[in-house]
Structure 1
Amino acid sequence: MEKPFSEVKMKHSTENTDNVLQEFNKNITLDYAWLISYVIFIGVLGIVGNSIAAAYYVKKMDKNVNVILLIVISLNDLISSLVNPVTTVYDFVNSVTYSSIIGCPAIYFAAHVLVINSLLLLTVIGVDRFLQIYLVASKLKFQKSHVVRMLACIFSGSLLIALRDIWIVKPVPVSVHAGQNLTVTGHHCMHSKEDYLKPVIYAFHIIDLVTVIGLSVALTCMYIMIRRKIDRTHKAVVAFSNPIDTRAVEDEVECTSSAAHDTDEAANTCSSAKLSIKDETDSIVKPSILFKWGAHTSEATNDHTHSHKMLEVERRITKMLFVMTGSSLLCFVPYFVVSLSLEYDHESSGWIYLAHRSFLLNSSLNPYVIGYFNSEFRRFVYDIFCRFCFKAVRG
């Protein structure tokens, strides 16, 4: 029995539509081959770098709160470097044929969760360092016993924030022009274009932007305060370790005491000055004020060479964490520019595509920042490379 003419025509029309959409996908893939190569390259860098960073911190004997958090952020960024480039390339290859109602919001949701995890972990690391160094006497310091609860709060918060993507991200119908008189409808995975959702999506972008700016300001202030505390401590340790400076201070106090010996008030003033100098110097050279994570030895109090080295290490660590945080936050600038001021859809230029996915860099930069500031990490990488080359030569 022959099929009705209407059914044959509909099947033919469907085949033509599919062919047009596939041809459009093919052209997009070819036109943006450079962008796809860039995404894959960033993903490979992230996988290699975060794998080595996670292995390096896992091997460290002194696993304090900061080290544990750096392990977690390396593993989170490793997963992000695996997942986000794959979903991004899939999105390119299926630019106008992404019709999955579940898969479309799921990839946005997964990317959002991983990126938020990274930002929140960097924030907690900055706060922990501030408590360890600037507020040395504070009882608010994070302990190892708090890590599990902190991570549970971070992951739960990320999931709750990203849940909105299930609502606002959809396979949106788009028009694909295949000729002068032929226009077919495809589906592109992006934020919904429904009128009632547009102000909601815009409001979410504003909230995200304000949050990122707020975190940037707060963390910058904290790292500036940490740096100043380290510099002041370094100057004080240098002064205390110099016998000439110490004698000069003592002589000055003695002179003040002798000149004012006739009055009880002046004598008390002189005594207070001596006590003030002694207390300040003692507080500066205490090992806890030298910001050394983990156990401290009593010898460190009098070992000024060791103190100088510790302070220099802390200065580099502070710079490293500040650059890690700053670079991660800067990765979102192009994304917010596109989201708030430009129209993004399946016909956007490659540069808009690139800006809209600028957050991909967030998961790949940290290991290389660590390598730049941490000589021990560089030696660890060098040892791995040498062992690999040695095995390759022997094999």
Structure 2
Amino acid sequence: MPKMDYGKLAQEKNDANTVENLPIIVYMSIVCSAGIVGNFVALLFYVSRTNKSSATLALTALSGNDFICSVVLLATTAGLVHSMTYTNEAACKLQGFLNHVFVMNSIFLLFILALDRYFSICKTSSWKSLFAKRKNVVCNIVCTTALSILFSIRELVFFEAGPIVFTVAENVTVIGNHCMITGEKRLAKIVTAFNIIDFIVILVIMIVMLTLYAFIIRKVSSVGKRRRATPNNIASDDSKSTEVSDISSKAVKQSPNESADVVRDRPTTIHPKTIHLSNTDHWSSTIERRLTQMVFILTLASVLSFVPYFIVSIIAQIHKVLPDLG
């Protein structure tokens, strides 16, 4: 029986897997490349602004986070191309850790932005003050980053470039390597528990975000209906004014035995008074609505940018052919 070249067999299996996974590789490459370009442009736009509101500051952090996230997720295609020949242990652990950090941080930042938009548009109690100051937003960003790292530090332990066994013929097996979560039985329950925690956290955040945006849409719609119902509302620029004069009255004094004498007071000096009819509130609410629309669009774009992370993870769990991304 001729001696088999197991390395060549593993490479052939790897090439076959790459062809099979090509649609996913192409999809990830397109989405992540679009995320890199889009978030880079958005980041430049927000960084160049001189006056940064709390929401703009959070949008800057989100754009920067999603830019790095798109770059890291694009690098995960290497795991798909080397599904049977991935041997770099350090790169595998770092890949799993960074993927998890930036995806979770993006979700947390989206949650903060949803809260900011809700409190700004719906003007709910004094909680709005928690998001109105820049230092509070910076604190929130730092906290979400720390929380994301805390959620992800486990990946440095769980990920490994482990062996995978496949059969090429009867009684002939070949061992390859790919980046995956450890298969050790002693860690299996811990891995499952962390995955359940991740799922619950993400699910709760998504439900709360959908609820908040539903309230925002209802509020904006009701305000729009009221404005359309009252088209004659006074709305002028701050530079416009109206002149109003004080008009003096005439005093009439009549004696009983004399004809009426009309005594005129001294002409009262006309004091022009300027009434400023400001549309600041209207302007502010318009800005808030536009900012909310921008946040909503970025939310959809952010979700799209890390969809590949979850798609590859699910497929990896089902087929056990693709590298597991967590």
Q: Does 1:109 align with 2:111?
A: no
SS at match of 1:185: strand
CA drift of 1:17 comes to 2.4
User: Pairwise mapping of residues 334-349 of structure 1 onto structure 2 (< 5 A)?
Assistant: 335=310, 339=314, 342-346=317-321
SS at match of 1:172: strand
CA drift of 1:110 comes to 0.6
User: Pairwise mapping of residues 25-104 of structure 1 onto structure 2 (< 5 A)?
Assistant: 25-86=14-75, 88-104=76-92
1:343 maps to amino acid = I
Aligned pair partner of 1:118 in 96, 103, 106: 106
State the Cα deviation string for residues 224-282 of structure 1 (Å, max 9, x = none).
Answer: 222333334444555666369xxxxxxxxxxxxxxxxxxxxxxxxxxxxxxxxxxxxxx
CA drift of 1:64 comes to 0.6
Q: Does 1:211 align with 2:185?
A: no
CA drift of 1:123 comes to 0.9
Q: Does 1:161 align with 2:136?
A: no
Aligned pair partner of 1:321 in 291, 295, 312: 295
CA drift of 1:323 comes to 4.9
Unaligned runs of 5+ in 2: 235-274
Aligned pair partner of 1:225 in 215, 218, 221: 215
Check whether the contact 2:66–2:302 (CA below 8 A) recurs between aligned residues.
no
Q: RMSD over aligned Cα, in angstroms?
A: 3.5
Change (3 A) 1:46 1:243: closer
Q: Which residue in 1 is equivalent to 2:188?
A: 198
CA–CA distance in 2 between the matches of 1:193 and 1:69? 39
CA drift of 1:55 comes to 1.4
Q: Normalization by structure 1: what TM-score?
A: 0.61
Change (3 A) 1:326 1:56: closer
CA–CA distance in 2 between the matches of 1:84 and 1:333? 8
Aligned pair partner of 1:303 in 272, 279, 290: 279
Change (3 A) 1:334 1:98: closer
Change (3 A) 1:334 1:63: closer
CA–CA distance in 1 between the matches of 2:287 and 2:138? 28
Change (3 A) 1:141 1:193: same
SS at match of 1:141: helix
CA drift of 1:216 comes to 1.6
Unaligned runs of 5+ in 1: 1-11, 245-297, 360-395
Q: Normalization by structure 2: what TM-score?
A: 0.73
CA drift of 1:179 comes to 3.0
CA–CA distance in 2 between the matches of 1:30 and 1:337? 15
CA–CA distance in 1 between the matches of 2:64 and 2:313? 29
CA drift of 1:311 comes to 4.3
2:92 maps to amino acid = C
State the Cα deviation string for residues 338-369 of structure 1 (Å, max 9, x = none).
Answer: 649953422x5xxxx8xx77x9xxxxxxxxxx
CA drift of 1:312 comes to 5.1
Change (3 A) 1:230 1:93: closer
2:139 maps to amino acid = R
State the Cα deviation string for residues 159-192 of structure 1 (Å, max 9, x = none).
Answer: 1100111222222321132333421212221122
State the Cα deviation string for residues 84-118 of structure 1 (Å, max 9, x = none).
Answer: 212x2211222122233322221011111111111
CA–CA distance in 1 between the matches of 2:308 and 2:90? 29
Change (3 A) 1:216 1:20: same
CA drift of 1:315 comes to 3.7
Q: Which residue in 2 is equivalent to 1:380?
A: none
Structure in which a larger fraction of residues adopt strand: 2
Q: Which residue in 2 is equivalent to 1:143?
A: 133
Check whether the contact 1:234–1:311 (CA below 8 A) recurs between aligned residues.
no
Change (3 A) 1:51 1:327: closer
Aligned pair partner of 1:17 in 1, 6, 30: 6
Instruction: Report which of the two structures shows the higher radius of gyration computed on alpha carbons.
Output: 2
SS at match of 1:61: coil
Change (3 A) 1:336 1:215: farther
Change (3 A) 1:231 1:221: same
